Structure 1
Amino acid sequence: MSGPDQDFWQQRFERGQTPWDRGEPGPQIARWGADGLLATGRRVLVPGCGSGHDVAAIAALGCDVTGLDYAPAAIALARQRLDDAGLAAALVTADALQWQPPQPFDAVYDQTCWCALHPDLWAAYARQLHRWVRPGGQLLLLAMQCRRDSAADGRIDGPPYHLDVHTVRALAHEPAWRWPPPPYPRVAHPGIGYELAIVLERR
């Protein structure tokens, strides 16, 4: 398999080597909550949920949340975070490229999963996203922008991997998804770069 495997992620969470973790929920959650995209009763999947900051924040908005992660250590941290906050959410340990829910979701909130996958796996992941979201539902994507100088030589360095918007658009393309016109809001991710907040509607 191209890129990091399950053991890589398990060791990172066991050792606390998670520099991508803000230590708090992503700030875009509150904005999408105010817009009604993360509203009470909506079924929301958070792939690559890590230690659960975002799962807990979305659950606190009244959503029916499922957190998905490859690493059992990440799921254990997310479970503890939910328990400490008195919040409920479903948590699943599985490979995002293989797992299928019983029914599609109203929305998928992706802040860390796509950019954690090696680009060789992106086409398969884009197909998963289309399966996971119901028609008329949304992909709430925070596309990581962390281009490295080594890209000029064709090297693929990460994770996180730089999510070039043109590449994302080629994989999550019209007419399967409805794209909003740019520009897209920038969300700072200290120490890494920034993200582009993009809401795609599944047709």
Structure 2
Amino acid sequence: MQGPTPSFWQQRFEAGNVPWDRGQPSPQLDAWLDEGVLRPGQSVVVPGCGAGYEVAVLAEAGCKVIALDYAPAAVELTRKRLRTSGQQAEVHCADVLQWKPDAACDAVYEQTCLCALHPDQWAAYAAQLQAWLRPGGVLCALFMQARGDGAGQGFIEGPPYHCDVHAMRALFRSSHWDWPKPPYAAVAHPRGWLELAVVLTRREPSERADGP
């Protein structure tokens, strides 16, 4: 497979070599909860849940959370965080490219999974997100802006892999997703990166995009 393997991530989590980890939930999650984008009672999938900060916050907010990671060490960190916080969620050690929910979900919180996958896997992942969500469901995405020095020469550098907004528009096509108009909130990361906060709505099968 192209890109990092499960053993790569397992070793990172076991060694505590997780420089992308904020050590706390993303501030954008609080904003989406305050705005009612994510609401109590919703079923929310968190792919690539890592240490589980956002999983615990969403569970405390009353969401029905399903957390996924294919590194057993990350799954254990999430379960430990839930035990410590007294919250409950479904936590699965699973490959996001293969996992299927029992029923269509209301929302997906996508923060660190897409940028951790090699771009060769992005199309398959985007198809998964569309399949997980019910029509009208929302994809709350934080698109990582981490353009490497070699990008101008065509090198694919990561993880994290740079999620250029033009690539994201091609990946999450307007024929399948309703895109809000820019500008998008830029969320600073302690490592000096930025994340673009975008909420996409899965279109009804009969809907047509208004433009290209």
* TM-score, normalised by the number of residues in structure 1: 0.99
Q: CA deviation at 1:57?
A: 1.0
Provide the C-alpha distance between the structure 2 equivalents of 1:45 and 1:18, rounded to a whole number of angstroms.
22
Q: What code does the residue aligned with 1:53 have?
A: Y
Whether the 8 Å contact between 1:145 and 1:164 is mirrored in structure 2 is yes
Q: CA offsets, 1:7-34, max 9 Å, x none?
A: 0000111111101010000101110001
Whether the 8 Å contact between 1:20 and 1:192 is mirrored in structure 2 is no
What are the equivalent positions in structure 2 for 1:122-201 lying under 5 Å apart? 122-201=122-201
Q: CA offsets, 1:99-152, max 9 Å, x none?
A: 111111100000000000000001111101100111000000000001112001
Q: CA RMSD in A?
A: 0.7
2:137 aligned counterpart, secondary structure: strand
Q: CA deviation at 1:84?
A: 0.4
Provide the C-alpha distance between the structure 1 equivalents of 2:106 and 2:170, rounded to a whole number of angstroms.
23
* TM-score, normalised by the number of residues in structure 2: 0.94
Provide the C-alpha distance between the structure 2 equivalents of 1:104 and 1:22, rounded to a whole number of angstroms.
30
Provide the C-alpha distance between the structure 2 equivalents of 1:55 and 1:12, rounded to a whole number of angstroms.
20
Provide the C-alpha distance between the structure 2 equivalents of 1:103 and 1:93, rounded to a whole number of angstroms.
18
1:87 aligned counterpart, secondary structure: coil
Whether the 8 Å contact between 1:59 and 1:65 is mirrored in structure 2 is yes
- Which residue number in structure 1 is paired with residue 20 of structure 2? 20
Q: What code does the residue aligned with 2:165 have?
A: V
Identity of aligned residues (%): 58
- Which residue number in structure 2 is paired with residue 77 of structure 1? 77
Q: CA deviation at 1:192?
A: 4.1
Provide the C-alpha distance between the structure 1 equivalents of 2:160 and 2:48, rounded to a whole number of angstroms.
12
Provide the C-alpha distance between the structure 1 equivalents of 2:188 and 2:15, rounded to a whole number of angstroms.
25
Is 1:51 matched up with 2:51? yes
1:161 aligned counterpart, secondary structure: coil
- Which residue number in structure 2 is paired with residue 105 of structure 1? 105
Moved over 3 A (4+): none
Aligned residues: 203
1:44 aligned counterpart, secondary structure: strand
